């Protein structure tokens, strides 16, 4: 595998996390008072998580593993092959399920849950990002 093959997707995540950190500094009242804050968090989370799924798919294809039939299955395949720890599975699957919620149920997002994710769960994006980079680096061509 070559990091360069997915570099554009890798680049999205630190940029998004940096911008989310700015929004994270807001109080809940300040956050919910402006639709631009909400839209920005939704967009940054959705694109970060989708980039992670795409990178995971690249890893799976590069290693010749079975093709996932859904986004969450990317995590399952990586766990099956001991590339991701089993104890990380639930958190990463929940993250992907939230991306699906943003994409398909965008008009029904609980702002308190969104704010809690912004405050407490960005670490999951960072952790999966670092794990995927490590997998790529440990499996050169």
Query: What is the number of structural domains in the chain?
Result: 1
Better-predicted residue by pLDDT, 88 or 3:
88
Residue with tokens 């992670």: 52
Say how far apart CA 127 and CA 118 lie, in whole Å: 15
pLDDT single digits (tens) 108-139: 788 999 999 999 999 999 999 999 999 999 99
Contact (Cβ atoms closer than 8 angstroms) between residue 19 and residue 64 = no
Q: What is the per-residue pLDDT for 108?
A: 78
101 has a pLDDT exceeding 90: no
Q: What is the per-residue pLDDT for 106?
A: 67
The range of the structural domain enclosing residue 54 comes to 3-138
Q: What is the per-residue pLDDT for 104?
A: 74
The distance in angstroms from the start CA to the end CA of the chain is 5
Which phi-psi region, left, alpha or beta, contains residue 98 (left: φ > 0; alpha: ψ -120 to 50)? alpha
The pTM for the full model equals 0.92
CA-nearest of 86, 17, 99 to 53 is 99
HEC profile of 110-140 = CHHHHHHHHHHCHHHHHHHHHHHHHHHHHCC
pLDDT single digits (tens) 23-81: 999 999 999 999 999 999 999 999 999 999 999 999 999 999 999 999 999 999 999 99
What CATH number does residue 97 fall under? 1.20.120.580
């Amino acid at each position: 595998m070559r990091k360069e093959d997915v570099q554009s997707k890798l680049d999205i995540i630190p940029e998004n996390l940096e911008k989310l950190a700015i929004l994270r500094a807001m109080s809940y009242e300040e956050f919910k008072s402006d639709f631009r804050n909400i839209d920005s968090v939704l967009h940054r989370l959705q694109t970060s998580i989708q980039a992670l799924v795409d990178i995971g798919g690249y890893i799976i294809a590069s290693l010749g593993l079975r093709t996932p039939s859904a986004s969450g299955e990317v995590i399952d395949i990586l766990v099956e092959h001991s590339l991701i720890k089993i104890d990380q599975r639930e958190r990463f699957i929940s993250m992907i399920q939230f991306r699906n919620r943003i994409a398909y149920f965008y008009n029904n997002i609980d702002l308190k849950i969104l704010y809690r994710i912004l405050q407490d769960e960005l670490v999951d994006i960072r952790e999966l990002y670092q794990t995927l980079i490590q997998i790529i680096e440990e499996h050169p061509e």
